[in-house]
Amino acid sequence: MPKKALTSLDVYKFLEELDVSKGAFVRNIKSRKNEFYLQLFSKKEFWLKFVPGSYLCVTDEKPQDTTDFPFTMKVKNLLKGKKVSIEMHEPDRIVEICSEGIRLIIELFSSGNIILTENGRITMALYPREYGNRVVREGENYSYPPGVARSFKMDGSDIMRLIKASDKESIVKTLALDFYLGGNYAEEIIFRSRTDKDKKPTEVTPEEMGRIADAYTEIIEGAPKPNVIEGAIFSVIDLTHVEGERKYFDSINPAIISFFAETAVESRREMKIKQDIVNTEKKIGSYNSVLEFLNSNYTEISDMIKSARDSSISLEDRTKKLKESGWDLTGRIITSIARPEVAVDIINPLRSQMSDLYEKVKRMKKGLGRAEARPEPKKELKFREAEGWYTKFRWSRTRSGKLVVIGRDMNQNTVLVDKHCDNGDLVFHADIFGSPFGVVKINAGEELSDEEKKECASLICSYSSAWKAGAMALDVYYVKPEQVTKTPPSGESLKKGAFYIKGKRNYVKNAELGVYIAVESDGEAYSISVSAHEPDGKYLLIKPGDKSREEILKRIKKIIEQRLGFSPNRDKIDKLLPNGRFSIEKLKM
């Protein structure tokens, strides 16, 4: 399945609509895996989201579950609080955030990249890469990809010059590649200009060039009409050459969000399969028609073959005689003038050629049957995000509904203990170096049962270094918040991120490592979460094992697809897993 990605024209029209010509102020910068966010202020506050190699859009919602990667921190240090301009390096799929010699370059083409430059030199690249003579690496001067056109705004003479200079094999490929339009927009210009798309650029007449220039200008300068066709094609204009049900949008941004970030009516793979079926049916019909013609005219065609092979007559006379009978002779092939699709080899026996064609039709019908009997595509339900301060941490609930919050790293441990511990809560920590801190929120008058203490202890040791070490059980202690301090006894010191525990520690002995992955769906949306206890609904129990992270992610995703009928977001599952190797001990789906 081809990757969803905006074209250069889509990016151009989007930035026109965004209208930040007077610049914007950077308020914040966030990132997630292959997602980059800029919080900007220009007339109002908004988040500009980039997915390198795919798309960009505006969202009002603050991104959740973000991580401050070193690259993110570097960009934040240089751009936060600055006034920036947002520009497109036409006509490449490259967006630039610029401020006083600093450029943040987002490449939306190919596999994508984000590059930070200062005065033209690369300070840091999210993905260091080499493309022939083009090197994207720290310390190198940033260079743009080579290209032909340098702007979308061209007059008729510029358009004609580019067409004449093109070395592409057809005019439609010239428009798609040299003009940076992509396949759909190139096909649309061909359709509107009534030009043969397979013509070589050098064969295009001045009149056709004029029509092409008019259609190009109409598309570039015309008002956008964003829409999604059959849930499979995104366009900022009306593609009159494409048939299918359309969903129109008032502006480009919601169309991008609908197409890229939300469930589509039908995947582009499904649309391709449908088109392949139609094309195959046409070919089968054509081949059957040829076979019928060969059968009906078998004696005549056999005579034509004999005439074509008669060496007692000169080639010129044979060719003339065949043409008088309605056949062309080229090399060893005779072709019906009335039916150009009927071509016969004069060397191979006619029956053998017909038999081969019968077999070809038979194979195509068999393949067509498999394609039509393909399983229903998996639904792509919307992920239902939990809300609350605790969602930036790891979190779960005990069987009685008490909230369990666990730090993901040293910084989160500190924030969790310092800012989110109240009197009556309990703080958990495994008896091992490399354990997170966990806080169980307990309301006044409530208590944590022994069974719930075991559940919390199991979660804590599961997210500790014990999982990666392959341990199956571990001791975990719990204390009151007032026992946890950053101040050690006189004469002792603490490492960064560490806490000192005062007084008695209460232990849960031999807490078992293992996490329940609970899955809930209602046909419209779904949620995947960690449960501290065996859920009542659908779940998988994950324990330390011998499967790699990649293997277990594929396995969990496949189980959900096969048993629940929808395709979950892989990253949502990945967030829930501890560090190490895995096994599926139990499942209820």
CATH number for position 198: 1.10.8
My answer on whether 22 and 48 are in the same domain is yes
My answer on whether 393 and 511 are in the same domain is yes
Alpha-carbon distance of 20 to 341, in angstroms, equals 57
Domain boundary among 208, 239, 261: 261
What is the layout of strands, in order, in the sheet containing 382-383?
Answer: 382-383, 525-531, 515-521, 538-547, 582-588
In terms of residue numbers, what domain contains 66?
Answer: 8-136
Is 178 a domain residue?
yes
Is 2 a domain residue?
no
My answer on whether 403 and 505 are in the same domain is yes
Both tokens of 580, joined, read: 């190490």
Is 580 a domain residue?
yes
Query: What is the 8-class DSSP label of residue 146?
Result: P
Alpha-carbon distance of 231 to 245, in angstroms, equals 8
My answer on whether 511 and 521 are in the same domain is no
Is 147 a domain residue?
no
My answer on whether 525 and 439 are in the same domain is no
Q: What is the pLDDT of residue 268?
A: 46
What is the CATH number for 119? Answer: 2.30.310.10
Domain boundary among 372, 401, 428: 372
Domain boundary among 468, 492, 515: 515
Q: What is the pLDDT of residue 382?
A: 84
Q: Which of 449, 283, 269 is nearest to 377 (CA)?
A: 269
My answer on whether 505 and 520 are in the same domain is no
Domain count for the chain: 5
| CA distances for 409 relative to 29, 436, 497, angstroms | 20, 7, 9
My answer on whether 500 and 583 are in the same domain is no
pLDDT tens for the chain, 589 residues long, are 445 789 999 999 999 988 876 788 999 999 988 889 999 988 888 899 998 988 999 987 788 778 888 899 999 999 999 999 999 988 888 999 999 889 999 999 888 899 999 999 999 988 888 887 788 889 999 988 887 657 888 888 889 989 998 999 999 999 999 898 999 999 999 999 999 999 999 999 999 999 999 999 999 999 999 999 888 889 999 999 988 888 899 899 989 988 886 533 344 456 667 778 888 999 999 999 999 999 999 999 999 999 999 989 999 999 999 999 999 999 999 999 999 999 999 999 999 999 999 999 999 988 887 766 655 556 668 888 888 999 999 999 999 999 999 999 888 999 999 999 999 999 999 999 999 999 999 998 899 999 999 999 999 999 999 999 999 999 999 999 999 998 888 888 888 778 999 999 999 999 999 999 999 998 888 999 998 899 999 999 999 999 999 899 999 998 998 888 888 888 889 999 999 999 999 999 8
Q: What is the pLDDT of residue 266?
A: 44
Is 378 a domain residue?
no
Q: Which of 291, 200, 183, 295 is nearest to 239 (CA)?
A: 183
| Partners of residue 432 on adjacent β-strands | none
My answer on whether 49 and 115 are in the same domain is yes
Give this prediction's pTM: 0.47
Is 377 a domain residue?
no
Is 151 a domain residue?
no
My answer on whether 358 and 400 are in the same domain is no
My answer on whether 192 and 214 are in the same domain is yes
My answer on whether 405 and 499 are in the same domain is yes
Is 266 a domain residue?
no
My answer on whether 115 and 55 are in the same domain is yes
Q: What is the pLDDT of residue 500?
A: 92
